[in-house]
Chains A and B, each alone.
Chain A
Amino acid sequence: MPTKLAITGAAAVAHAMRQINPDVVAAYPITPQTPIVEYFAQFVADGVVDTVMVPVESEHSAMSAVVGSAAAGARTMTATAANGLALMFEIVYIAASMRLPIVMPIVNRALSGPINIHGDHSDAYAVRDAGWIQLMSENSQEAYDLTIIATKLAEREEVLTPAMVNLDGFITSHGVEGVEILDDEVVKDFVGQWEPKYPLLDVDNPITHGPLDLFDYYFEHHRQQQEGLKNAYKALPEVFAEYEKISGRKYDFLDLYKMEDAEYVMVVMNSAASTAKYVVDELREKGIKAGLIKPWVFTPFPKKEFLEALDGRKAVVVLDRAMSFGKEAPLYSLVKSALYEAKERPMIGSYVYGLGGRDVTPAMLHIPFEEAMKGELDPNEERYLGLKE
């Protein structure tokens, strides 16, 4: 029987990790990810899990050690945020190229500078091209579920791609909510055992990991990585369906809220979607056909699903919790490009909000809808919500 606990998002993720019971966890603390590592370290200290924990001296070494561990053939996890992820950056790419199914919760935090410990999505965006699967969660329940889902997905032989599970710093990681925790046995059966393809520790069949890969084959290896992500895209519905069977909770590429007849659509990721849903409800009460799309999957980017969901709508407003300096905001530009093939292109507008943890209020989220309804969207103008203009 699943148990309902009132816990923080960080605790929820730590429970998912406990149930996944990885062979190795190597991690380094950084606000707001720290409680995940602390909870998990306590599980180890109390003998609740027999995972080998490597308390490394930096995130760079965390990612390096998990690469060594996963290459050795062990199920391996870590977690980080913002500056920690940035310090790992080089090895984040290498982990993906070495096709190691590492699962890494990212507690989204503003990537300096100046230094700021609160939530935005600049860290997730910074690694969007690194070759990892990126799952996005609105709340603690989703962070818990997606951590388990990510493990199953990443380890599939045709996928073998590491996965990040994003949850918003403080709002999700430190906020206490009711979270339904599955039975340990159920999770254990669901994730099963990982059978590594090329374990380094197979001393009877010595292999070489991480060679110098010059112009004659590097391109091909990257094409293979692309295939891994294509396969992840194909496998996701299956894994989601399997998870629904054990949990009763339904996931998809996109969380569609009141979208059946929606004319004005907001696209937003993670925790702000809760506020946006509230705003959609308010607009609906006034008879306005508002709707919301919140991607659960950012990479592989569900382009087809966006196209299907948005084709023919009156207007789309895309909210990004980070800027892409000198370019269009990341989610906006992806959604916009998905609409290139639309038969009836909606009006579209870009809104940047909530940088460095700035509060997101319902009043703020009404603005994009109002501008959309007034026909005032400009696809070439980035607008800011809550900025001291």
Chain B
Amino acid sequence: MPKYDSWKEMPIAGVIDKPATAREYNTGTWRIMRPIVDKDACINCMQCWLYCPDMAIDGIVKEDGKTEMVGFNYDYCKGCGTCAKVCPVNAITMKPETEFLK
């Protein structure tokens, strides 16, 4: 995490001199509901990937040119459920985080 102990070390002007440092902050800790995908039902349409407001779904284009929804990035997923809502085949279900407590 970028942390400065003295004003003398910091870049001036309030500039954040590196891009995408927010990744060092895990918004996944906010989550109350966890999205789970049923890959058998999933048709890899990528709507969930496109919609996720937290860029917490990974996707690829395979060598055969087909798209594939790979899974969730729980470091950042806030559990909003938008992915589940936009999925045309209801392949995503939202489960309480408490179910995953060990």
Are chains A and B touching in the complex at the 8 Å CB cutoff? yes
Task: Verify if B101 is at the interface (C-beta below 8 Å from A).
Answer: no
* B4 in contact with A217 (CB, 8 Å): yes
CA separation between A370 and B7, bound complex, in Å?
Answer: 50
* A207 in contact with B4 (CB, 8 Å): no
* B16 in contact with A99 (CB, 8 Å): no
Q: SS class of chain A's interface: helix, strand, loop or mixed?
A: loop
* A99 in contact with B13 (CB, 8 Å): yes
CA separation between A221 and B12, bound complex, in Å?
Answer: 7
* B15 in contact with A224 (CB, 8 Å): no
* A211 in contact with B7 (CB, 8 Å): no
* B7 in contact with A198 (CB, 8 Å): no
Interface size class of A (residues with CB under 8 A): 20 to 34
| A207: chain B residues within 8 A (beta carbon) | 15-19
CA separation between A219 and B7, bound complex, in Å?
Answer: 9
* A 226-237 to B, binary, CB cutoff 8 A, 1 in contact else 0: 011000000000
* A220 in contact with B19 (CB, 8 Å): no
Pick from B7, B12, B14, B19: contact of A160, CB under 8 Å: B12
CA separation between A206 and B17, bound complex, in Å?
Answer: 8
* A223 in contact with B12 (CB, 8 Å): no
* B7 in contact with A208 (CB, 8 Å): no
Task: Verify if A98 is at the interface (C-beta below 8 Å from B).
Answer: yes
Pick from A206, A213, A217, A221: contact of B19, CB under 8 Å: A206
* A97 in contact with B19 (CB, 8 Å): no
**A220-B4, A220-B7, A223-B7 known; A211+B16 contact, CB < 8 A:** yes
CA separation between A16 and B96, bound complex, in Å?
Answer: 68
- Nearest Cβ on chain A to B12's Cβ, whole angstroms: 5
| B10: chain A residues within 8 A (beta carbon) | 217, 220-221, 224
B18 nearest in chain A by CB position: A207
| A228: chain B residues within 8 A (beta carbon) | 12
- Nearest Cβ on chain A to B11's Cβ, whole angstroms: 7
A228 nearest in chain B by CB position: B12
Task: Verify if A113 is at the interface (C-beta below 8 Å from B).
Answer: no
- Nearest Cβ on chain B to A277's Cβ, whole angstroms: 40
* B4 in contact with A98 (CB, 8 Å): no
| B4: chain A residues within 8 A (beta carbon) | 217, 220
B10 nearest in chain A by CB position: A220
CA separation between A227 and B11, bound complex, in Å?
Answer: 13
B21 nearest in chain A by CB position: A208
| A219: chain B residues within 8 A (beta carbon) | 7
A94 nearest in chain B by CB position: B14
Q: Could you tell me which residues of chain B, from 1 to 43, have a CB within 8 Å of some CB in chain A? A: 4, 6-7, 10-19
| A217: chain B residues within 8 A (beta carbon) | 4, 10, 14
A99 nearest in chain B by CB position: B13
CA separation between A249 and B38, bound complex, in Å?
Answer: 80
Pick from A208, A220, A223, A227: contact of B15, CB under 8 Å: A208
Task: Verify if A210 is at the interface (C-beta below 8 Å from B).
Answer: yes
Task: Verify if A209 is at the interface (C-beta below 8 Å from B).
Answer: yes
Q: Could you tell me which residues of chain A, from 189 to 206, have a CB within 8 Å of some CB in chain B? A: 197-198, 206
**A221-B7, A224-B7 known; A160+B16 contact, CB < 8 A:** no
CA separation between A210 and B17, bound complex, in Å?
Answer: 11
| B13: chain A residues within 8 A (beta carbon) | 97-100, 160, 198, 209, 221, 224
CA separation between A206 and B16, bound complex, in Å?
Answer: 9
A160 nearest in chain B by CB position: B12
B11 nearest in chain A by CB position: A198
- Looking at A208, A217, A219, A227, which has the most chain B CB atoms within 10 Å of its CB? A208
* B14 in contact with A210 (CB, 8 Å): yes
B6 nearest in chain A by CB position: A220
- Looking at B15, B18, B19, which has the most chain A CB atoms within 10 Å of its CB? B15
Q: Could you tell me which residues of chain A, from 151 to 169, have a CB within 8 Å of some CB in chain B? A: 160
Please name the 4 residue pairs, one residue from A and one from B, whose CB atoms are nearest each other, closest first: A220-B7, A99-B13, A208-B16, A206-B19
CB<8 Å pairs between A and B, sample of 21: A97-B14, A98-B13, A98-B14, A160-B12, A197-B12, A198-B11, A198-B13, A207-B19, A208-B15, A208-B16, A210-B14, A213-B14, A217-B10, A217-B14, A219-B7, A220-B6, A220-B7, A221-B10, A221-B12, A223-B7, A224-B7
